[in-house]
Chain A
Amino acid sequence: MGDQKVIKNLKTFSTSAERFEGSHVLCPGCAHSIIVREVLNATNDNLVVSAATGCLEVCTAIYPHTSWDCSWIHIGFENASTAIAGAEAMNKALRNKGRISADTPQPKFVAFGGDGATYDIGFQWISGCFERGHDMMYVCLDNEVYANTGGQRSSSTPIGASTTTAPAGSTSYGEKQVKKDMLQIMAAHGSPYVAQVAPNKWKDMVKKIQTGFATKGPVFINAMSACTTEWKFQPHQTIEASDLAVDSLVFPLYEIVNGTELNITYRPKNIVPVRDYLAFQPRFKHLFKPENEHIIEEWQKRVNEKWEYLQRREEARV
């Protein structure tokens, strides 16, 4: 295998960036780039990566440039999972036929998709890949909106957010539906490992990615990816926005192993009210009008219930 790269540990990995270069046109402060860079740096193995249509794809592979110093493919909006499953199948076939020798190290197969690509249009393809049990990791860059097309709602958009297709108005508080619980759905596929991660808790994130890479079979990672443009905060506030998300428990960090073992991996010392998380982002500004306050209360109630539910499951090991 030629030059063996130095195995990165948690300290060194974040200072190296061989596989995802800075030459992209993602917005300043976009969490997509932080997450992708850390995922790619969490392993020394060869990588085959696919990306769904969305901000990540259109900002990192604009001909004749590419930010990807690894094998990479984009096909369409919905099929990043199946593209990588096809590549994984080809790897198996070529090994079985002896065209790739058995002692060549196994590469890792990773697909990235936004929440639109994951929760909505690509859902069937992901479900199919997970049911068939391909040895791959699917990472959802969950910014709760179709960012690339200018801020339309997705089924990950939380209740009360104002988006271009679910705008707040004189008779509407914005998005009516509650965010889909993608992690539970993916765990229910019998995935050996699913986890939620956020870039502000990067040690937790890298550990989970490494666990995912060490797991055989389809792994799902839901990564909270704060979007400065659509959530409307300043580019230097990405980590602050992420802190508020995890510390308010709006985005709890946990993992589910083999569909049965739930572990909460981060417990905020001081739980922040949901109100503070919402107040930070102008997409929720209208919720603070008296007629919409009930949405904030409802939201807080849901977050509390979910947190209790997660803790009960963790305790019961189910």
Chain B
Amino acid sequence: MNRKEMELNSVEVWDGNTCNAQAFRQASVDVVAAYPITPSTNTVENYATFHANGYVDGEFIMVESEHAAMSACVGAAAAGGRVATATSSQGCALMVEVLYQCAGMRLPAVLCLVNRALAAPLNVNGDHSDMYLTRDAGWIQLDSFNAQEAYDLTLMSFKIGEHKDVRLPVISNQDGFLTSHTAQTVRPLPDKVAYDFIGDYVQVNAMLDFSKPVTHGVQTEHDWHFEHKAKQHAALQGALPIVEEIFKEFKKLTGREYNLVETHKMDDAEVAIVCLGTTYETATIAADELREQGIKAGVIAPRLFRPFPLVQLAQKLQNVKALACMDRSAPGGTVGALYNEVAGALFNTPARPVLRNLIYGLGGRDITVNELKEIFTDLQNDAKNGKLTGKIQRLHGVRGPELSFYEL
């Protein structure tokens, strides 16, 4: 290795972007190719600073677009090494074509996706439109709720994606500004401990291994395409227990626990909120306050958006009578994506609570503890009545007349 070690304190004050860049550095990524976009820019800037000061000995390429960033990552990964990049929103949209190609070639790249709204109108703040845009691209998708988790999950992304039975790219999702720009106390691992946890990159079908020429990115027709896609799907599905295993290993190392589905007071919860990202923590505060009033409130969040932990989620919802699915993306003429996932997960299980879809927080609009408490109150009515009061979907917190849809 040709790089300087970095001395870190056991507790640092980092924002999410710093966490990402530190995770890239500690993973000793071989090639980072990137293009700046708010709010993920600082991941790349921090990494550039590490590179400029000798803390990184891989190649850092500032390309001319996000499409090129992912293209370079795919070429580099196929050549036989560890690659990573970061983006948001429009950058992610520009990358989408290559995201599919990367996953289809089973190349384990890591992408820090700092979630942001998609234009139009142009908006630099956080919602989950870009995460949803990538959901069928074949990437494993982890979701963090704060800066510490952004660091932990980005580190784990390398280990997960490169696992010999996975060999898939991984997106480490985090909320724009709320996570990416909020300085928080973070407990990083020492460089060596972090690197040893991830392990050396093990090359598979590397283009730079000239003893065995390899053809990447073939053309298929109906004769083989289905089998390729089936295997890719199987690898994604098969990743769930492997992710769980890696979470356990990480807990042994750090004491920090991650689960396929994260829960807060769900054991006896009768009303619950299911959400992604930073809203999880706000909702736990709301639930705690309601618990003091004797209301059996709980919060639940899939830690993985892909592969979706369908069974695990359904198991945790056995006792819930009413559930609100919180979607932070403009739904585009249907119910929200998370609502769809959850409803799909529950349809064939005995656990079928009354389900509401809340569209909220678009373009970075806050959701407060009080608003979440109101949502819990609505759920209590649903639970009491044993059926939905009002329509399935509500656009929560939008100015003007109340908007709600899908009445049964």
CA distance A128 to B65 in the complex (A): 9
| SS class, residues of chain A in contact with chain B | mixed
Is A90 a contact of B68 with CB atoms below 8 Å? no
Is A79 a contact of B61 with CB atoms below 8 Å? no
Shortest distance between the CB of A44 and any CB in chain B (Å):
12
Interface flag for A188 (CB, 8 Å)? no
Given contacts A85-B72, A97-B57, contact A124 B30 (CB under 8 A): no
With a cutoff of 8 Å between Cβ atoms, the chain A residues found around residue B59 in the complex are 89-90, 92-93, 96
Is A90 a contact of B213 with CB atoms below 8 Å? no
Is B58 a contact of A97 with CB atoms below 8 Å? yes
With a cutoff of 8 Å between Cβ atoms, the chain A residues found around residue B218 in the complex are 61-63, 66, 74
The contact string, 1 if C-beta is below 8 Å from chain B, for chain A 90-111, is 1111101111100000010000
Is A75 a contact of B210 with CB atoms below 8 Å? no
CA distance A183 to B64 in the complex (A): 21
Interface residues on B, range: 35 or more
CA distance A76 to B63 in the complex (A): 17
The contact string, 1 if C-beta is below 8 Å from chain A, for chain B 41-58, is 000000000000000011
Residues facing A in B98-119 (CB within 8 A) are 98, 101, 105
Shortest distance between the CB of B50 and any CB in chain A (Å):
14
Is A61 a contact of B219 with CB atoms below 8 Å? yes
With both beta carbons as reference points, the residue of chain A lying nearest to B200 in the complex is identified as: A99
Interface flag for B67 (CB, 8 Å)? yes
Interface flag for B301 (CB, 8 Å)? no
Is A90 a contact of B1 with CB atoms below 8 Å? no
With a cutoff of 8 Å between Cβ atoms, the chain B residues found around residue A75 in the complex are 71, 74-75, 98, 101, 105, 217
Is B219 a contact of A76 with CB atoms below 8 Å? no
CA distance A92 to B216 in the complex (A): 21
CA distance A191 to B213 in the complex (A): 29
Is A86 a contact of B64 with CB atoms below 8 Å? no
Is B215 a contact of A66 with CB atoms below 8 Å? yes
Given contacts A89-B33, A90-B80, contact A72 B75 (CB under 8 A): no
Is A86 a contact of B31 with CB atoms below 8 Å? yes
CA distance A181 to B60 in the complex (A): 32
Interface flag for B165 (CB, 8 Å)? no
Given contacts A87-B79, A90-B30, contact A69 B213 (CB under 8 A): yes
Interface residues on A, range: 35 or more
CA distance A76 to B102 in the complex (A): 11
Is B2 a contact of A73 with CB atoms below 8 Å? no
Is B67 a contact of A78 with CB atoms below 8 Å? yes
With both beta carbons as reference points, the residue of chain B lying nearest to A111 in the complex is identified as: B75
Interface flag for B220 (CB, 8 Å)? yes
CA distance A91 to B206 in the complex (A): 11
Given contacts A72-B214, A75-B71, contact A87 B65 (CB under 8 A): no
Is B101 a contact of A71 with CB atoms below 8 Å? no
Shortest distance between the CB of B2 and any CB in chain A (Å):
6
Shortest distance between the CB of A95 and any CB in chain B (Å):
10
Given contacts A57-B219, A71-B210, A76-B98, contact A85 B75 (CB under 8 A): yes
Residues facing A in B133-161 (CB within 8 A) are none
Is A93 a contact of B81 with CB atoms below 8 Å? yes
Shortest distance between the CB of B332 and any CB in chain A (Å):
26
The contact string, 1 if C-beta is below 8 Å from chain B, for chain A 43-72, is 000101010000001100111101011111
Interface flag for A127 (CB, 8 Å)? yes
Interface flag for A256 (CB, 8 Å)? no
With a cutoff of 8 Å between Cβ atoms, the chain B residues found around residue A48 in the complex are 79, 207-208
Is B210 a contact of A107 with CB atoms below 8 Å? yes
Interface flag for B304 (CB, 8 Å)? no
CA distance A73 to B77 in the complex (A): 11
With a cutoff of 8 Å between Cβ atoms, the chain B residues found around residue A72 in the complex are 207, 213-216
Contact residue among B64, B210, B220 (Cβ-Cβ distance under 8 Å from A46):
B210
Is A90 a contact of B208 with CB atoms below 8 Å? yes
Is A79 a contact of B67 with CB atoms below 8 Å? yes
Is B101 a contact of A89 with CB atoms below 8 Å? no
Is A94 a contact of B81 with CB atoms below 8 Å? yes
Is A83 a contact of B74 with CB atoms below 8 Å? yes
CA distance A72 to B79 in the complex (A): 10
Contact residue among A71, A83, A92, A131 (Cβ-Cβ distance under 8 Å from B72):
A83
CA distance A94 to B30 in the complex (A): 7
Is B76 a contact of A71 with CB atoms below 8 Å? no
Is A85 a contact of B61 with CB atoms below 8 Å? yes
With a cutoff of 8 Å between Cβ atoms, the chain B residues found around residue A63 in the complex are 218-220, 224, 228
CA distance A128 to B75 in the complex (A): 15
Is B97 a contact of A93 with CB atoms below 8 Å? no
Contact residue among B68, B77, B215 (Cβ-Cβ distance under 8 Å from A82):
B68
Q: Which are the 5 A-B pairs with shortest beta-carbon distances?
A: A86-B75, A83-B75, A128-B64, A86-B72, A79-B71
Give 15 new A-B contacts, CB below 8 A, not counting A73-B207, A94-B30, A128-B64.
Answer: A48-B79, A48-B208, A64-B224, A71-B213, A72-B207, A72-B214, A89-B59, A90-B76, A90-B83, A93-B58, A94-B80, A97-B28, A98-B1, A124-B68, A125-B71
